[in-house]
Amino acid sequence: MLRMLIIVLLLLPTTSKADQGLKISCLNMKYVVIGRKHDPLKFTMQAVGLEYFDEEKDKLVMIEANNLDIGENQVTARFADYELGFQMIVFAGETEPTMTMSKYDYKNKKFLEHYKCDVETGNIE
């Protein structure tokens, strides 16, 4: 009887659930305007934090949620020399908000780059 129960449990289909998150792909606005092609910056935002691929370290890096500055319509990740600020804004003449990302040099108090981001919700595994 015990063998039969174990066999039944092993043969039952299992479903696994993944966390809901955001897959973010950002293009530099300067390059979009002049029509220059380049690879987008990609991020994954989850309940546990913000994940991105660090090309210098050649690996995925997770910035934990407790190390992010999270507001109502913005999330900021701070690095050694700059910070990345993700925010939802409504451009003039539009009705739907758009996610943008800004790279800010907080040591020299100036913005370095601005990005327009595409956001896709989905299950993050």
Q: Mean pLDDT for each 10-residue chunk of the chain (125 residues)?
A: 52 58 91 76 92 90 93 91 93 91 95 93 72
Give the full edge-to-edge strand order of the sheet including 49-54: 59-64, 49-54, 41-46, 19-28, 110-124, 98-105, 83-89, 74-78, 68-70
* Range of the structural domain that residue 109 is part of: 20-124
Q: Is residue 9 part of a domain?
A: no
Q: Is residue 15 part of a domain?
A: no
How many domains does one find in the chain? 1
pLDDT at 45: 92
Q: Is residue 6 part of a domain?
A: no
